[in-house]
Amino acid sequence: DDDDDDDARPDVIKVGYALTAKKASRMLSDALVARCSARGVEFYPLDPAIDIDAQRGHPFDVILQKVPGSDGVKADWDERLRQYATAQPLARIVGLPDLVKRVTNRGTMLDVVHSLGVENVSAPRQVVLTPRDDAESISQIISDAGLKPPYLAKALICDGSEHSHSVAIIHDQGGIEALRQGRVSGIELPCVLQEYVNHGGCLFKVYVVGESVTSATRRSLPDLVVHSSSSSSNHDYGDEGAVVVPRVSRFTQSASDDDEDEDGGGDGDGNEQQHVPPPDDAVLRDIGLRLHAKLGLDLFNFDLIRDRENPSALFIVDINYLPGISKMPGYFDHFTNFLASAGGLTKRAARAV
The pLDDT value recorded for residue 8 is 55
Do residues 63 and 342 lie in contact, with contact meaning Cβ atoms separated by under 8 Å? Answer: no
- 263 confidence band (pLDDT: 50, 70, 90): low
Binding-site residue set for 1D-myo-inositol 1,3,4-trisphosphate:
23, 66, 165, 205, 320, 324
Q: How far apart are CA 46 and CA 65, in angstroms?
A: 9
Do residues 345 and 301 lie in contact, with contact meaning Cβ atoms separated by under 8 Å? Answer: no
Question: Cα separations (Å) of 304 from 129, 136, 141, 272, 319?
Answer: 24, 33, 26, 18, 9
H-assigned helices in the chain: 2-8, 21-27, 30-38, 74-87, 97-104, 135-145, 173-180, 248-251, 281-295, 331-352
Fold of 102-321: D-amino Acid Aminotransferase; Chain A, domain 1 (3.30.470)
Mean pLDDT of 241-247: 79
The pLDDT value recorded for residue 254 is 39
Question: Cα separations (Å) of 159 from 58, 104, 110, 279?
Answer: 27, 5, 15, 29
The pLDDT value recorded for residue 164 is 86
Is the preceding omega at residue 201 within 30 degrees of 0, hence cis?
A: no
The second-level CATH assignment, the architecture, of 2-94+332-352 is: 3-Layer(aba) Sandwich (3.40)
Query: End-to-end distance of the chain based on CA atoms, in angstroms?
Result: 31
Binding-site residue set for Mg(2+):
303, 318, 320
Q: Average pLDDT over the chain, rounded to whole?
A: 88
Tens of pLDDT, residue by residue over 284-302, are: 999 999 999 999 999 999 9
**Residue ranges of the chain that CATH labels 3.30.470.20:** 102-321
SS3 sequence, 70-92?
CCCCHHHHHHHHHHHHHHCCCCE
- 232 confidence band (pLDDT: 50, 70, 90): very low
Binding-site residue set:
23, 66, 106, 154, 165, 194-205, 220, 303, 318, 320, 324
**Residue ranges of the chain that CATH labels 3.40.50.11370:** 2-94+332-352
- 210 confidence band (pLDDT: 50, 70, 90): very high
Name, in order, each residue with C-beta under 8 angstroms of 67's C-beta and a sequence gap of 6 or more.
18, 19, 20, 48, 73, 74, 77, 160
- Measured in degrees and rounded to the nearest 5, phi and psi for residue 75 equal -60, -45
Who has greater pLDDT, 120 or 345?
Answer: 120
In angstroms and rounded to an integer, the radius of gyration of the C-alpha atoms of the chain is 21
Tens of pLDDT, residue by residue over 23-70, are: 999 999 999 999 999 999 999 999 999 999 999 999 999 999 999 988
Res 312 pLDDT > 50: yes
The pLDDT value recorded for residue 101 is 95
Among 98-107, 143-152, 206-215, 226-235, whose mean pLDDT is lowest?
226-235
- pTM to 2 decimal places: 0.88
Residue 237 burial (CB count, 10 A): 19
Binding-site residue set for ATP:
106, 154, 194-205, 220
Mean pLDDT of 84-110: 96
The pLDDT value recorded for residue 162 is 81
Q: How buried is residue 293: exposed, middle or buried, by Cβ count under 10 Å (0-12/13-18/19+)? A: exposed
